[in-house]
């Protein structure tokens, strides 16, 4: 089934467009997991696996999708990567759409190898752990069309999706993305190429397997890009910890509350560090996460078209 | 010791600036390794490890550095990544400078996590395989300064290096990198930021820990960038299989034959597929690789300032 159709269906079924980002760091783990870390090999991998599974248990009934940040797993070498793989498989088994946030990029057969690594569905009877089989991957467009096309081909073949960095949420996104060439900022040039790549890849939902990463910290750009990219699902980072509010992301949605997923990582998965949740739920870190997800869903429903998903 | 000083010293000692790229693919493995692949779990990982070690055995006495392409290892999941790690450790043990070609990119603490993953030297007594400890990493600059700075901080702390994509060697590098803003193409804007990032990070060789990836397929840009970036080591892809010739890369070197490393991946490591080597050395695939390296060294010595390294 087409990626955008699967994602749209999941968004409709769950009644929200919240994407929970799982970015584990040893220092932010809940106390019960953190206190078991004594520096022995394998402990961090085990703690990350347990954390990922526990987060998935809480959020799977509530949201359509999760996003794993590759860097935090890769930072712990082989044990980190094994924990990543196990957590991802678990999330998929629990019915979540799984995004691999790796911002991969390269050209030709190298780009194809990345796409196969993370998006290919393994053949029947293939060994466990040889392909990641994620539902979507984030990619960086700096290399141009032949750095994107191989990802698209593999994604299309396996019913998977891609989210291309267009306008990121960090302050120095301005350095290159906002430079003006031929009367338009570079991110608009990227958006126009993206429209060309995305157009032939639309599903029955009207949305393409090619999505765009567009930060919530620049609401004006978000509105402008929403208009420029009608068939493209936006992955919107920056809500919550990076300062974006529901009103800032409202422009990402279409009139039916579709066409966008809004990510929150630390604000949800480390909710137990926030006084308002910690005090209310005491040591129950999973209850803190659950409440943070519900609060985010309510916030988006109240201030954006995502509210229409609840009708 | 500073990365650029270590690399410069290795280039001088070996008398050449050749970078051997290791990009294993099952279909290109030498027959003796390929014929053992029957589809069972672990076989590809084992074949990749053996291939990587055998290539390293051949090239370690001949060249200063090797570059591993992450995508081809990641394409085979956990067993591929384990093979990658083992091959990298082996290359380092054999005295080679090791580049991790992963084109990573992200912002803030996420970028820092990637940098730690691949560049941090593990603490004394740390578990095997928790950090990669590569000598240098390739990174993508699309996110701007706060997508680069965290990599620089970690690299500086551990005596490691970075190669920032500036002007890549693929045809559609033109899509975004060549767009003109304020009278200059985007890759020149990237180069100018790179100069600012690189300047405070120079070693005693005069070169910075921050290098640039500049393709050999556009010799004019190479010359222009060499002039614009005096303290920056160029990693030049595109020689050999991508059509670049020694004359095309000549502009990458400074007057002493320093300041550049020229990559060749398939042209060297799959030399046994090329008739001129296959016929001469029959089934001896390592002899083919050795001869291909020697031929490349001679070609660069004859047509570029790298020849001065032999004096």
Residue among A244, A185, A241 nearest A217 (CA): A244
**Nearest-by-Cβ selection for A140 from B131, B142, B146:** B142
Structural domain range at position A195: 3-305
Q: CA B68 to CA A104: how far, in whole Å? A: 15
What is the number of structural domains in chain B? 1
Provide the pLDDT for residue A202. Answer: 98
What long-range pairs does A39-44 form, CB within 8 A, spacing at least 24?
Answer: A40/B127, A41/A79, A41/B127, A41/B128, A41/B130, A42/A79, A42/B127, A44/A76, A44/A79, A44/A80, A44/A83, A44/B130
* pLDDT tens per residue across span A32-62: 999 999 989 999 999 999 999 999 999 999 9
Q: At B242, is the pLDDT very low, low, confident or very high (cuts 50, 70, 90)?
A: low
* Per-residue model confidence as pLDDT tens digits over A7-29: 999 999 999 999 999 999 999 99
For chain B, the average pLDDT equals 95
- Inter-chain touch B140–A140, beta carbons under 8 Å: yes
Nearest CA in chain A to B140: A142
Asked if B109 lies within 8 A of A193 by C-beta distance, the reply is no
Which residue in B103, B149, B193, B245 is the catalytic one?
A: B103
Residue among B15, B7, B22 nearest B56 (CA) = B22
A165 contacts on B by Cβ (under 8 Å)? 142-143
Give, in degrees to the nearest 5, the angle at Cα B135 between B95 and B262: 80
Report pLDDT digits (tens) over A64-112: 999 999 999 999 999 999 999 999 999 999 999 999 999 999 999 999 9
Nearest by CB: A85 against B42, B78, B186 = B78
On chain B, the residues whose CB falls within 8 A of the CB of A174 are 144
- Put simply, the answer to whether B41 touches A116 (Cβ < 8 Å) is no
Q: What is the mean pLDDT of residues A273-281?
A: 95
φ, ψ (nearest 5 deg) of residue A165: -60, 120
- Average pLDDT of A272-286? 94
Q: Which residue in the block uniquely carries the two structure tokens 């960038």?
A: B225
Q: What is the pLDDT of chain A when averaged over all its residues?
A: 95
pLDDT in tens, B50-106: 999 999 999 999 999 999 999 999 999 999 999 999 999 999 999 999 999 999 999
Residue-level pLDDT at A169: 86
Burial profile A176-188: b = 16 or more Cβ within 10 angstroms, e = fewer: bbbbebeeebbbb
Whether A294 is covered by a domain: the verdict is: yes
DSSP conformation class of A169? S
Of B25, B79, B71, B69, the residue nearest B51 (C-alpha): B25
Contacts of A129 in chain B (CB under 8 A): 77-79
Q: What percentage of residues in chain B have a pLDDT greater than 90?
A: 89
- Contact assignment for A141 to B176 by CB distance below 8 Å: yes
A213 pairs with which residues across the strands?
A165, A235
Q: What is the CATH number of the domain that holds B43?
A: 3.20.20.70
| pLDDT tens for each residue of A253-263 | 999 999 999 99
Predicted local distance difference test score (pLDDT) of residue A242: 67
Q: Which of A116-120, A124-128, A302-306, B203-207 has the lowest mean pLDDT?
A: A124-128
By annotation, the residues of A acting in catalysis are 103
Phi–psi pair at B155, nearest 5 degrees: -60, -45
Mind listing the pLDDT tens digit for each residue in B209-219? 999 999 877 78
A56 part of a folded domain: yes
Q: Choose among A130, A170, A176: nearest Cβ to B79.
A: A130
pLDDT, residue B121, reads 93
Q: Which of chain A's residues have a Cβ under 8 Å away from the Cβ of B79?
A: 127, 129-130
Range in A225-234, A302-311, B125-134, B211-220 with the lowest mean pLDDT: B125-134
Determine, yes or no, domain membership for A310.
no
Contacts of A142 in chain B (CB under 8 A): 140-142, 165, 168, 176-177
The predicted-structure confidence for B44-53, as pLDDT tens digits, reads as follows: 999 999 999 9
Q: Is position B245 annotated as part of the catalytic site?
A: no
* pTM, rounded to two decimals: 0.97
Query: Which residue of A lies nearest to B69 if distances are taken between CA atoms?
Result: A110
How far is the C-alpha of B41 from the C-alpha of B21, rounded, in Å? 26
Within 10 angstroms of residue A80's Cβ, the number of other Cβ atoms is 25
The three-class DSSP label of residue B67 is: strand
The reported pLDDT for the residue numbered B212 is: 98
CB A190 within 8 A of CB A173: no
Contacts of A164 (CB under 8 A, 6+ apart): A138, A139, A140, A141, A148, A190, A194, A197, A210, A211, A212, A213
Q: Is residue A250's pLDDT more than 70?
A: yes
Helix (H) or strand (E) holding B55: helix B43-59
Q: Which residue in A has a C-alpha nearest to residue B143's C-alpha?
A: A173
pLDDT digit string (tens) for B118-135? Answer: 999 988 877 777 889 999
Candidates B71, B89, B161, B90; CA nearest to B131 is B89
Residues A222-247, mean pLDDT to the nearest whole number: 90
Q: Give residue B196's pLDDT band: very low, low, confident or very high (50, 70, 90).
A: very high
Residue A183 lies in a domain: yes
Residue A149 has pLDDT above 90, yes or no: yes
The answer to whether the CB atoms of A165 and B171 lie below 8 A apart is no
List phi, psi (to 5°) of A299.
-60, -45
Q: Are B266 and B19 in contact (CB under 8 A)?
A: no
**3-state secondary structure at position A112:** helix
With respect to residue A311, please indicate whether it lies within any of the assigned structural domains. no
pLDDT band at A125 (very low <50, low <70, confident <90, very high): confident
Torsional sign, CA B4, B10, B11, B12: positive
- Taking every pair of Cα atoms in chain A, the longest distance, rounded to a whole number of angstroms, is 57
Instruction: Give the one of B69, B76, B190 whose C-beta lies nearest to A110's C-beta.
Output: B69
Q: CA B236, CA B248: separation in Å to the nearest integer?
A: 10
Beta bridge partners of A18: A262
Cβ–Cβ < 8 Å for B159, B3: yes
pLDDT exceeds 70 at position A3: yes
A142 in any annotated domain = yes
Q: Which residues are bridge partners to A239 per DSSP? A: A244
């Amino acid at each position: 089934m087409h990626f955008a159709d699967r994602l749209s269906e999941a968004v409709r079924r769950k009644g929200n467009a919240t994407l929970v980002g799982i970015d584990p760091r040893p220092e932010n783990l809940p106390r019960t997991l953190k206190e078991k870390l004594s520096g022995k090999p394998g402990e961090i991998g085990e703690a990350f696996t347990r954390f990922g599974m526990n987060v998935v248990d809480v959020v799977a009934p509530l949201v359509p999708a999760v996003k794993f940040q590759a860097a935090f797993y890769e930072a712990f070498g082989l044990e980190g990567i094994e924990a990543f793989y196990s957590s991802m498989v678990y999330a998929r088994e629990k019915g979540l759409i799984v995004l691999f946030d790796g911002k991969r990029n390269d050209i030709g057969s190298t780009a194809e190898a990345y796409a196969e690594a993370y998006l290919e569905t393994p053949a029947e009877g293939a060994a466990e752990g040889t392909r990641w089989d994620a539902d979507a991957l984030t990619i960086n467009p700096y290399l141009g069309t032949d750095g994107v096309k191989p990802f698209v081909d593999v994604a299309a073949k396996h019913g998977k999706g891609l989210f291309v960095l267009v306008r990121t949420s960090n302050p120095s996104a301005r350095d290159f993305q906002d430079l003006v060439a031929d009367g338009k900022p570079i991110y608009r040039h990227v958006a126009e190429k993206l429209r060309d790549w995305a157009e032939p890849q639309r599903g029955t939902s009207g949305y393409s397997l090619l999505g765009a990463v567009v930060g919530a910290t620049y609401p004006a750009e978000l509105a402008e890009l929403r208009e420029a990219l009608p068939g493209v699902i936006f992955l919107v980072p920056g809500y919550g910890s990076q300062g974006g509010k529901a009103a800032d992301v409202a422009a990402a949605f279409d009139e039916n509350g579709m066409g966008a997923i809004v990510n929150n990582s630390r604000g949800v998965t480390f909710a137990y560090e926030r006084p308002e949740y910690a005090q209310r739920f005491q040591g129950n870190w999973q209850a803190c996460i659950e409440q943070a997800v519900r609060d985010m869903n309510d916030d988006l429903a109240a201030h954006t078209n995502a509210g229409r998903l609840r009708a």
